[in-house]
Amino acid sequence: MEPENITGIIEFLILGLSEEQELQSLIFCLFLSMYLITVLENLLIILAVSSDPHLHTPMYFISNLAFMDICLTSTNIPKMLVNIQAQSKAITYEGCITQMYFFILFAGLDNILLAVMAYDCYVAICHPLHYMVIMNPHLCGLLVLGSWVTIALNSLLEVSMVLRLSFCTDVKIPHYFCKLNQVIQLACSDTVPNDLVILFTAVFLGGGPLTGILYSYSKIISSIRRISSAQGKFKAFSTCTSHLAVVSLFYCTILGVYLSAAVSQNSHSTAIASIMYTVVTPMLNPFIYSLRNKDIKATLIRLIRKKN
């Protein structure tokens, strides 16, 4: 018997990471702790950059990345925590669509911003004398604004494609938030146009920034190799180590999620793997940048002492 087709679905059921009741308290405490740490760390980065005029230009993209990481985790973790506390798996149709839109938006912005930051590293190392001229506040603002407009339009397109779908009676999402491909798999109508849009996005808005990052670092490595002194090479390389660590963490975790999905057909294992780039990466990004950047650490220490 085929599932009944419903055109006016009211809500979805998010199965979460585990259906075992005894694990719910542990999952709640773990994710609440990670969420609070992520928000606090990233807010400190934003506060440090905004309070010190000397950090406005060189740390402009880092403060934007911190803001996006807060928003990325806030699209799914609070709802999951509320559902665990209320012992409910339900999310309204409108809530699911909204969650999908903002998750696609902020995940895409993270991706493009990492490419913009790679270009920033390229200019700093390959054209250090012209850095302040090239990376002026006007260009930085345009790069961030262009990223917002591009990803916002793409998110609107992908969510609009979901709105045309009709769903069956089985509306259980084997994940801890409304993930786009998981929701599309529940549809009873034709999903080929949705699959084509996802493929287009993966190639151009996923592969494009990655290509830009690889190209920037190829130029950076080539420039560093031409430096004669070992001290000069180390100083130039240390300029981009934080960004390189964040890029590696971001793309390696995403690659791990898709590899686990290809190898294992278990949706719950894929959901657990997704924690790496949706929760763990935003939590580690501020630690990586603050650990490597003496200016940010000095500013944070000065703010703490001033408050005390």
Order of strands, sheet of 172-173, starting from the edge strand that comes earlier in the sequence? 90-92, 11-14, 172-173
pLDDT for res 53: 63
State the CATH class of domain 9-303.
Answer: mainly alpha
210: exposed, middle or buried (Cβ count in 10 Å: 0-12, 13-18, 19+): middle
pLDDT for res 100: 93
Tokens found for residue 87? 């012992």
User: Taking the domains of the chain in order of start, what are their residue ranges?
Assistant: 9-303
pLDDT for res 74: 93
Q: Are 158 and 179 in contact (CB under 8 A)?
A: no
Q: Are 116 and 143 in contact (CB under 8 A)?
A: yes
How far apart CA 35 and CA 79 sit, in angstroms, is: 12
pLDDT for res 307: 62
pLDDT for res 5: 44
Q: Are 73 and 279 in contact (CB under 8 A)?
A: yes
List phi, psi (to 5°) of 66. -65, -45
How far apart CA 176 and CA 277 sit, in angstroms, is: 13
3 state SS of 273 = helix
Q: Which residues of the chain have pLDDT under 70?
A: 1-9, 52-58, 260-269, 290-300, 303-308
Give Rg (Cα) of the chain.
21
pLDDT for res 190: 84
Instruction: For residue 44, give Cα distances in angstroms to 39, 47, 250, 296.
Output: 9, 5, 21, 9
Instruction: For residue 2, give Cα distances in angstroms to 9, 169, 170, 188.
Output: 17, 10, 11, 10
| Residue type at 172 in one-letter notation | K
Q: Are strands 90-92 and 167-168 parallel, antiparallel or unpaired?
A: unpaired
Q: Is the pTM of this model over 0.75?
A: yes
Task: Read off the pLDDT of residues 9-34 as tens digits, 9 standing for 90 and up.
Answer: 678 888 877 777 778 888 899 999 99
Please name every residue paired with 168 in a beta bridge, in sequence order, or none if there are none. Answer: 5
